[in-house]
């Protein structure tokens, strides 16, 4: 298949591009850097109003992962505007471009996140669960709504609500490893907040499954079927590393250090299950946390 990937230089996008190419697909990479005589690279810059010039070849699928990092420094009005704008403006521009070409792709997989649900305690969340409150919930709602232009064109759209993506080379796990290896892993707040996570390989496979499964459309949760509390998460990670968990970071300290960002990223609870993925026949390679961590962090 011919597949266009945005955010292809990011943590998820770069590894997805490699996985798709290995599986025999031709991948076009959409990004802000100049193509430099590479026919498979396409430049766009949504923040500057530079729309992508799509390849003349008919595309089978588009995977849209581009967006400003939510965990790069404390949030202020300017940061929050960039986070929201990078998702909404970029998604809207991409969908308008796809809607305007003669042969639009059959499917658009557009990233979203479990932040859609806000802080929900131990409530079991599925795709049909109502949206929550908070900045990230607002971002995810607007992000998903920005795919409207593609929907109107008749493109099948999957809004992939991803949980915490695990990999030792990027994302939250990579940032946690130095402290945990030094025996400085900590229970955050009460530790009872749920973490909905997914192994990076399962993200790759779930995206390909969504591309190949025409019955999947709308919101689809990309999370392990076994969400875990933050206390269990850090204790499992410490056990795999052979280290203790001796510290606790109180909620007030998280809020003092990181403000609103700390409250929504580290203290919010989302206990989600991948109802639609499972019902469509998807089988997780790493359904349980310990097995995923031992895969990434062999003794």
How would residue 133 be classed by pLDDT, with cut points 50, 70 and 90? Answer: very high
Give 71's pLDDT tier (boundaries 50, 70, 90).
confident
Which pLDDT belongs to residue 283? Answer: 98
Residue 134 has pLDDT above 80, yes or no: yes
Domain ranges of the chain: 2-291
pLDDT at 226 over 90: yes
Residue 56 has pLDDT above 70, yes or no: yes
pLDDT at residue 215, rounded to an integer = 96
Q: What is the pTM of this model?
A: 0.95
pLDDT band with cut points at 50, 70 and 90 for residue 72 = confident
Contacts of 9 (CB under 8 A, 6+ apart): 29, 31, 33
Residue 264 banded pLDDT, cuts 50, 70, 90: very high
Cα angle: 117, vertex 94, 62; to 5 degrees: 80
Burial class of 299 by CB neighbour count within 10 A (0 to 12, 13 to 18, 19+): exposed
Report which of 127, 19, 6 is spatially closest to residue 68, judged by C-alpha positions. 6
pLDDT digits 0-9 by tens, 170-181: 889 999 999 999
Q: What class does CATH assign to 2-291?
A: alpha beta
Whether the pLDDT of residue 35 is over 70: the answer is no
- HEC string of the chain? CEEEEECCCCHHHHHHHHHHHHCCCEEEEEECCCCCCCCCEEECEHHHCECCCCCCCCCCEEEECCCCCCCCCCCCHHHHHHHHHHHHHHHHHHHHHHHCCCCCCCEEEEEEEHHHHCCCCCCEECCCCCCCCCHHHHHHHHHHHCCHHHHHCCCEEEEEEECEEECCCCHHHHHHHHHHHCCCCEEECCCCCEECEEEHHHHHHHHHHHHHCCCCCEEEEECCCCCEEHHHHHHHHHHHHCCCCCEEECHHHHHHHHHHHHHHHHHCCCEECCHHHHHCCCCCCCCCHHHHHHHHCCC
């Amino acid at each position: 298949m011919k597949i266009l990937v945005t955010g292809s230089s990011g943590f998820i996008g770069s590894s997805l591009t490699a996985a798709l190419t290995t599986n025999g697909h031709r991948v076009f990479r959409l990004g802000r850097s100049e193509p430099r005589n590479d026919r498979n690279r396409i430049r766009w810059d949504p923040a500057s109003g530079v729309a992508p010039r799509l390849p003349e070849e008919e595309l089978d699928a588009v995977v849209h992962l581009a967006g400003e990092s939510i965990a790069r420094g404390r949030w202020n009005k300017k940061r929050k505007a960039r986070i929201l704008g990078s998702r909404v403006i970029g998604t809207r521009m991409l969908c308008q471009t796809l809607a305007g070409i003669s042969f639009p792709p059959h499917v658009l997989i557009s990233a979203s996140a479990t932040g859609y649900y806000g802080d929900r305690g131990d409530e079991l969340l599925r795709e049909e669960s109502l949206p929550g409150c908070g900045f990230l919930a607002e971002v995810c709602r607007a992000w998903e709504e920005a795919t409207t232009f593609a929907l109107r064109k008749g493109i099948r759209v999957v809004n992939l609500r991803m949980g915490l993506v695990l990999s030792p080379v990027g994302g939250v796990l990579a940032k946690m490893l130095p402290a945990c290896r030094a025996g400085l892993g900590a229970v955050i707040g009460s530790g009872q907040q749920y973490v909905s996570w997914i192994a990076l390989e399962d993200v790759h496979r779930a995206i390909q499954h969504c591309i190949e499964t025409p019955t999947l459309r709308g919101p689809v949760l990309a999370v392990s079927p076994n969400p875990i509390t933050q206390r269990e998460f850090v204790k499992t990670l410490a056990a795999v590393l052979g280290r203790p968990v001796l510290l606790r970071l109180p909620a007030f300290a998280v809020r003092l250090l990181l403000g609103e960002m700390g409250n929504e990223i580290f203290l919010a609870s989302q206990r989600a299950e991948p109802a639609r993925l499972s019902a469509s026949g998807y089988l997780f390679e790493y359904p349980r946390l310990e097995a995923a961590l031992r895969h990434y962090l062999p003794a």
